[in-house]
Structure 1
Amino acid sequence: MLTTHSIFEQMNELGAEKVPFFFMIDFLKEHGEVIPLVNLPEDIQFSMHAEKQEFANKNFSFDKYPISLEEYQKQFKLVHNHLKFGNSYLTNLTCATPITTNLSLEEIYKFTKAKYKLNYKNQFVCFSPEIFVKITEGKISSYPMKGTIDASIPNAKQIILNDEKEAAEHATIVDLIRNDLSLISNNVTVKNYRFIDELITNDKTLLQVSSEIEGDLNDDYLSQIGTIFDQLLPAGSICGAPKKKTVEIILEAENYNRNFYTGVFGVFDGSNVDSAVMIRFIESENNQLIFKSGGGITAKSECESEYNEMIQKVYVPIY
């Protein structure tokens, strides 16, 4: 496991040499892995934009045991007070939810359907729908995802797109990501604003709202891949704005360690980069499976609604 400086330094060196590599960076940029693909061990499995999934050959059980609303309220109130005092405009509050299932982490990795999947040494699995950044032929693109609703609700699409709180939350993150990309690229534009993705889970279908933001990198970007990620992390969509102060609020409010949850993982193929935000995340801790999930809190947020959204995001996309 590498430390911060060596993570980004090695990414720069391998990028300059056009050596394909896998990388993984935790939420606080304290630890990570950078491994040339030719040396990738068998116990690190990942999948990017897989079109097929393996079908579960058995019925599976999945139960969740979230914290109480009363316990969540304490964390929510702390965050909400910071928001009311203007210390943050948007704070992503997350929780750790114990779960039980008859599937192993390896089976969860195999059977879930998601844009991005990672099984790290059977310590944790991630099945993320959210792109972090893609670098293709000198252009960098980011796709922040903010806003979730149960697709079975009548007029769900119109409700989520017309919701004032959700619209404000999404606008804040798009502005933050646009500013982040401006630090490392030129001609930054919002190419597609608030489009809908459909996510099918084990018990329902969700609609999630995303945007696409793009910029032009300098010609020497291959030797600066690590530097680019260092400047962009942590991902704005899973902390909030302003980023530095909001991370301080998160560390004050959350009563557990995110570790690699809400970090990023990805691959450099020798010329292009694809990466994901590590959300939809299950970790094994002392023989107990823990599902980590959360959502963005604004000054207009209602505690019970945010609590329900946090629980709603505890699912496995197996169907």
Structure 2
Amino acid sequence: MKFIEISIINLYKKIIKKYYNNESFVLFKKPYENKIYFYSHGNNRKIKIKENFFLIGSFNHKNIVKIYTNEIYFIDIKKIISSNKLITIPYSFLDINFSHLIYSYEYQNLLKKAIRFIKNNYFKKVVLSRLIKIPFQNFYLKKTFQKLIFSYPNSFISLWYDFSHGFWIGASPELLIKCNDKKLKTVALAGTISALENKNKWTKKEIEEHKIVIKYITTFLKKYYSGILSIGKTKIINLGTIKHLETPINFSFFKKPNFYEILENMYPTPSICGYPKKKSLDFIQKYEGYNRNFYTGYFGPVDKINMELYLNLRCAKIQMDKKEINLYAGSGITIHSNVDQEYLETENKIKNIFSKFIFN
């Protein structure tokens, strides 16, 4: 596997070429790192050893995209800053109009239905999402990607394209699994409040919601695998105008596991589905009312010995042909949920990502 440093101009030339040739590619930056990576492939026969790829999976498991590569291109962000090669974003582009966020009574009724199911002991938690479609005239993918990088340094920033699935862009705050040899790292990320209105005012609802995710992950690991479990200290992570509770979880296996088996059995977690898994998933598929597609799916780089996957959150599908953006957001519903507050949470999440999009 070759790592090749590339200039930002040559990188964008490659992206344009791949797009016009209908070839899959992905740009991504890992949390707290200073490198942007680029994977792409055209004719798979050129790939010598299919061990290095970027894996993308949809929420319903029906769509899997693998972007194989023999050469990984990268850009050092620090060098771009020092050489002033960043694209300047005019202030006029930053005036975002949120008039498209029309109130959804369908989603409100769905939340009420879920709370009734919880009160009847059908499940303890379910994560319900909604889709908002926003038209545009000119949308700047390149500038938006750059803005996301500098707005959310603690997130997994991605821009990927596949001929069958179009463009997807986002800034995910949540690691699903990071595996190497006999070690696994994951996080329980659940519980959300506004950073503007509440000063670390975490209610029983957020705390209980967070505990459900911790319990699910730790119970799963201890039940199916032998090893040493370590649960870190819960901390607050800031993502623009919202805050989340995050607890790191580490597991050292006594015997090297099959990472794909772990992924298959652990996913979807209660942070994007619910608990118990089957009942909450059945409810989502029956009542949510739309196909999540790759939203709340997973993606990330994979090689022979490593797997680093994130959940596809705070994301959007860009439909260039329709001049339309599909934005997604969800909220975890428990016995302590308030319909108005849960609705507002989805609106805040949508604004958090949409406010970084660059239009003209």
Q: What displacement does 1:184 show?
A: 4.9
Alpha-carbon displacement from aligned partner over 1:261-290 (angstroms, at most 9, x marks no partner): 000001124432211100001113433101
Q: What displacement does 1:173 show?
A: 1.2
Matches within 5 A, 1:252-271: 252-271=286-305
Alpha-carbon displacement from aligned partner over 1:166-204 (angstroms, at most 9, x marks no partner): 11111111111222333553335352242111112xxxx
Q: Is 1:291 matched with 2:327?
A: yes
Q: Residues 37 and 228 (structure 1 numbering): CA distance in 2 closer, same or farther, change over 3 Å?
A: farther
Paired residue secondary structure (1:22): strand
From 195, 203, 210, the counterpart of 1:151: 195
* Distance in 2 separating the partners of 1:237 and 1:37: 31
Q: Is 1:166 matched with 2:202?
A: no
Alpha-carbon displacement from aligned partner over 1:47-66 (angstroms, at most 9, x marks no partner): 9xx88995652332433423
Alpha-carbon displacement from aligned partner over 1:36-93 (angstroms, at most 9, x marks no partner): 33278x9xxx99xx88995652332433423525322211122112111111101001
From 173, 189, 198, the counterpart of 2:238: 198
Check the 8 A contact 2:330/2:346 in 1, yes or no.
yes
* Distance in 1 separating the partners of 2:88 and 2:269: 32
Amino acid at match of 2:107: Y
Task: Give the aligned partner of residue 315 of structure 2.
Answer: 281
Q: Residues 235 and 62 (structure 1 numbering): CA distance in 2 closer, same or farther, change over 3 Å?
A: farther
* TM-score with structure 1 setting the length: 0.80
* Distance in 1 separating the partners of 2:266 and 2:232: 20
Q: What displacement does 1:218 show?
A: 5.2
Check the 8 A contact 2:126/2:270 in 1, yes or no.
no
The count of corresponding residues between Structure 1 and Structure 2 is: 289
5+ residue gaps, structure 2 = 1-48
From 205, 218, 243, the counterpart of 1:178: 218
* Distance in 2 separating the partners of 1:107 and 1:252: 38
Task: Give the aligned partner of residue 276 of structure 2.
Answer: 242
Amino acid at match of 2:122: N
* Distance in 2 separating the partners of 1:131 and 1:55: 29
Q: Is 1:225 matched with 2:259?
A: yes
Check the 8 A contact 2:58/2:293 in 1, yes or no.
yes
From 45, 55, 78, the counterpart of 2:113: 78
* Distance in 2 separating the partners of 1:220 and 1:145: 26
Q: What displacement does 1:260 show?
A: 0.4
Q: Which structure would you say has the larger RCO, counting Cα contacts within 8 Å and 6 or more residues apart?
A: 1
Paired residue secondary structure (2:330): strand
Paired residue secondary structure (1:169): helix
5+ residue gaps, structure 1 = 1-16
Check the 8 A contact 2:228/2:253 in 1, yes or no.
no
Task: Give the aligned partner of residue 29 of structure 1.
Answer: 61
Task: Give the aligned partner of residue 90 of structure 1.
Answer: 125
Check the 8 A contact 1:18/1:271 in 2, yes or no.
no
RMSD: 3.0
Q: Which structure has the larger Rg?
A: 2
Check the 8 A contact 1:28/1:234 in 2, yes or no.
no
Share of identical aligned residues, percent? 24
From 122, 126, 147, the counterpart of 2:170: 126
* Distance in 2 separating the partners of 1:255 and 1:267: 31
Q: What displacement does 1:252 show?
A: 2.0
* TM-score with structure 2 setting the length: 0.72
From 93, 116, 120, the counterpart of 2:156: 116
